[in-house]
Structure 1
């Protein structure tokens, strides 16, 4: 990787595919994709069995300048851009869940793999004994999955058998399997959360790097003039990620899995984050050309209103068509009561008037801070050769500590404190962004908390006159602002892109 981090607009930056040109500041943006290992390179590639490297809170700082962090960000933005609507022949082309598709064979194989994984539920019945949290039958299910992981991956992922190591040698299968098994919750804690979802992203990223999704184009597809860029990535999202989410939702309901590291009602969602990113991109303002920056505001003409999120009947009506509403409808399946009460952050976001593009921008930034920068989420993420703990040579080393890292759990020793990797600080100390540094400074992404909470004994009333939920503790480091306005909200306790 070379060049500085820039390219997608002032707040959604990621590494360019080639070093930026100095000839013109108005050069066409270059949108990078995750690198695919060439066959010749893969033959000499040394695979590493993924291991835990984040042992303490300060280790998160080291992660934020690692090659793994960079690659996760690139892959997320790559998928995100593919989901944006396009203007084709003066028509807006959108990509709903229920639209007819012709997915490539690798994606079909992944879908069959997920069906086989879901079918294992029939072999792991619920435990009838008393329990306080999740059903221990999930441990039986997870054990079956672990025992059959090798055979399942070899059966449904062509080439994995050839990529497996021999004797004590570590092969590609060993790396891929680690992220695959990490994608389906914890058998010990009987929970599921955004860290497991992150593992599935890494699983797909490993397959991308290994060239699993690359297949020789058919003669009749090479010259298709109406082919819209990002088709493969959209197939991955709609044909693999959404089916994965459906499997996870069934596991959560069947085994009553607990949220992993949930903020409770002060979090965006107890279990997932990715469908809110890709789902908001699905509804954002269409782009006219592939050189156009990712929209930071606006909505597609046919998209539902953001305010429909807070209406259960509208969320149900849209759940089979749009990812964002599918995720919200699942919340309504597992939680009862007013939406503003059990999902205040999503309720707050539903009032945004600048459209799905602004929601998408905010979700990307919030994912960066609430998932990738949070020790409870990334502490179990393993690092191998495909998602490497090695430092990214192009990552900016920023002096200082972000508001997020300041609250991480610490001990007296850490790899960062001992000097490993040099001076490293969160890349969003000056601005919150996907990997790298942008030109526009800004605040870090807030912890998720009731957006209408004020700083004193009187809490401003939100839209519609929501009942008082009580004051929050005063934070002296964040000035209160004018009561009754958005400035009255702590910048650390609200959805930052909401107006």
Structure 2
């Protein structure tokens, strides 16, 4: 399925958009093709009665059509899609390692391609005080992958040769390599101080434990992210209230909920939208010296 989506990207080149570093409108054509074909793509895997529900998580995994952005909430939808497949016994706990090292890794490769081709804006980026403009889970899975490594330590992310050599085999190092390639500053200390601080940990076990706690706090427990999350028969949420389809959250541009959503916690909408954040990839595309004000 992900290979088919990679072919969609090849079939839908970005349109000329040289005057802007913000999202490329061709992404909407990609999104529409995914949306129009999602249920058909699910048919070989998913029982017919669950296709509509499972497809919704899949569609939401690749970014927001309206804002042409992508963030950890969309990444969480991909994990929700995989969770649905496990609940439907399409995959089993015995498949978990392959699901991460083959399926999730392929998903990250697809998302990097989308980020490069369509210049997706980071959704809810913390800027330099985040792990990555777009992703969280490769760091959590990647630190787990390295837990028992004899030689590679958390501080090894500062060794250029180690990152270059082992980034093809280890997710965490692949993320570091990617960040180093798209950020204009010379050092992690400047463009990714949180990753720099984490590298001081003695063991990957400590890093992994911290990543799990951080994911719960910074993603699953953040209302601006989880207010968009959908609940149904496979992933349930007790409480909250349904929201009307025409409630788009005012002038901020977020489509906060649909009739299929449950608004977690029943709280008021937060002020979740600030100024748009341009893609760092767009800032460095073709011109390495092109300035970006968020580095």
Judge same fold: TM > 0.5, yes or no.
yes
- Structure 2 counterparts to residues 452-471 of structure 1, below 5 A: none
Residue matched to 1:187:
65
- Tell me if 1:143 matches 2:143: no
SS of the counterpart of 1:364?
A: helix
Q: 1:292-326 CA distances to partner (integer Å, 9 max, x unpaired)?
A: xxxxxxxx252412112133443222111111111
Higher RCO (C-alpha under 8 Å, 6+ residues apart): 1
- Contact 1:283–1:303 (8 Å) recurs in 2: no
Q: 1:238-258 CA distances to partner (integer Å, 9 max, x unpaired)?
A: 121111111111111111111
Q: 1:373-395 CA distances to partner (integer Å, 9 max, x unpaired)?
A: 1122222111111111126xxxx
SS of the counterpart of 1:135?
A: coil
SS of the counterpart of 2:107?
A: helix
Cα RMSD after superposing both structures = 1.8
Residue matched to 2:23:
134
CA distance, structure 1, for counterparts of residue 220 and residue 116 of structure 2: 26
- Contact 1:251–1:257 (8 Å) recurs in 2: yes
Judged with a 3 Å threshold, the aligned counterparts in structure 2 of structure 1 residues 253 and 312 are, in CA distance, closer, same or farther, namely farther
- Contact 1:312–1:332 (8 Å) recurs in 2: no
Name the count of aligned residue pairs: 242
Residue matched to 2:224:
376
Bigger Rg, which one: 1
Q: 1:133-184 CA distances to partner (integer Å, 9 max, x unpaired)?
A: 1111111111111111122222xx33x2xx22xxxxxx20011101000100
**TM-score normalised by structure 2 residue count:** 0.77
- Tell me if 1:246 matches 2:109: yes
Q: Which runs of 4+ in 1 moved over 3 A?
A: 414-418
Residue matched to 1:31:
none
- Tell me if 1:232 matches 2:98: no
**TM-score normalised by structure 1 residue count:** 0.47
Q: Which runs of 5 or more residues in structure 2 are unaligned? A: 240-262, 268-295
CA distance, structure 2, for counterparts of residue 128 and residue 341 of structure 1: 32
Residue matched to 2:90:
212
Indicate which of 168, 173, 176 corresponds to 1:320: 168
CA distance, structure 1, for counterparts of residue 145 and residue 264 of structure 2: 40
Judged with a 3 Å threshold, the aligned counterparts in structure 2 of structure 1 residues 149 and 368 are, in CA distance, closer, same or farther, namely same
CA distance, structure 1, for counterparts of residue 86 and residue 151 of structure 2: 30
Judged with a 3 Å threshold, the aligned counterparts in structure 2 of structure 1 residues 381 and 307 are, in CA distance, closer, same or farther, namely same
- Contact 1:339–1:347 (8 Å) recurs in 2: yes
